[in-house]
Amino acid sequence: MQWRTLGNTPFLPPLYWRAALKRKISGSRLPEQGLRCRVNVNPQHVAAYRTVCGFADSPILPATYPHILAFGLQMQLLTDKAFPFPLLGLIHLSNRIRIHRPLGAISDLTLSVHTQNLKPHAKGATFDLVTRIEDALGLLWEAESRMLCRGVKLEGEAADDTLPAPSQVSELTHWKAPADIGRRYARVSGDYNPIHLSALTAKLFGFPQAIAHGLWNKARTLAALTEHLHAANIDIQVEFKKPVRLPSEVRLYASAAGSSGELLLKGTGDIEHMVGTWRPIA
């Protein structure tokens, strides 16, 4: 892996323009290149993120917040000329977070992103977008977001690595996903994908309504599970099923609080939106 170190986090508007212009697949190999930079945590921005995602005030950062710190670096990586797939149209299939130490009293961090694990899929090919955050003591937090690019042709059999349906869960709580949550989440995350912003822009990409960001669904779920989850040495994995159309109401089912458990997010008509697990890091 070759690493390129940036002086600061990328400026997003040119990257959106670059993403809009690239609409075709240009290859079938991932580049052997990663990006790194230093980042600082802004308490006012964290507070705005907590409000949008339902997290209570705490000295510990929300488990999903490092994704927000990484978004610009991820955009730069996925819109680079060396990256073979168009960013618009990628589908976020699953997300896994591992928190090695508590995310408290941290400000100056080193962030890195790269891609790996390109595999055939029944509808194209998948790869992992890997994000890591380190402080002076070493690895603090890491995540893999599995992405699908339709239409890529790869040799080999498609593996079935979907999570099993949760079995020992009961209804914990419910909440509304309002019509404007895509725009509100975009303002704190930087992710202005048109499918999340309004019915009008979502229809341009084949969706009848706007859909909630997958990472907002995960963040809102983890906010509701705060009392269930340890602050460190925890591996939280979710798989995104049917999208949450906006506006709508969802119900969260979960195991009892403990070091390991399962979760399930359902919508109207028992539509499964997200399944997941949490457990100690192996």
* Alpha-carbon distance values, 125 to 96, 102, 108, 118 (Å): 19, 34, 36, 7
Q: What is the pLDDT of residues 34-79, one digit of tens each?
A: 999 999 999 999 999 999 999 999 999 999 999 999 999 999 999 9
Nearest to 132 by CA among 101, 91, 98, 90: 98
Residue 66 makes CB contacts below 8 A (sequence gap 6+) with: 103, 111, 131, 133, 141, 143
119/100 Cα distance (integer angstroms): 27
Nearest to 250 by CA among 282, 274, 222: 274
Q: What is the pLDDT of residues 13-26, one digit of tens each?
A: 999 999 989 989 99
For the chain, the average pLDDT equals: 94
**24, amino acid identity:** K
pLDDT at 108 (0 to 100) = 87
3-class DSSP state of 49: helix
DSSP state letter for 33: E
Q: How many domains does the chain have?
A: 1
Q: For residues 120-148, give the mean pLDDT.
A: 96
Residues of the domain holding 92 = 2-279
Q: What is the dihedral of CA 215, 220, 223, 228, to 10 degrees?
A: -90
Helices (H), 54-150: 65-78
pLDDT at 188 (0 to 100) = 97
Domain of 75: which CATH number? 3.10.129.10
Q: For residues 225-252, give the mean pLDDT.
A: 96
Q: What is the pLDDT of residues 97-117, one digit of tens each?
A: 999 999 997 888 999 999 999
Report residue 29's pLDDT band, with 50, 70 and 90 as the boundaries.
very high
pLDDT at 153 (0 to 100) = 87
Q: Which residues pair with 110 in a beta bridge?
A: 38, 134
> Would you state the structure tokens that stand for residue 170, as one six-digit string?
């009961």
Nearest to 207 by CA among 239, 176, 182: 182
Indicate if the pLDDT at residue 5 is higher than 90: yes
Q: What is the pLDDT of residues 187-204, one digit of tens each?
A: 999 999 999 999 999 998
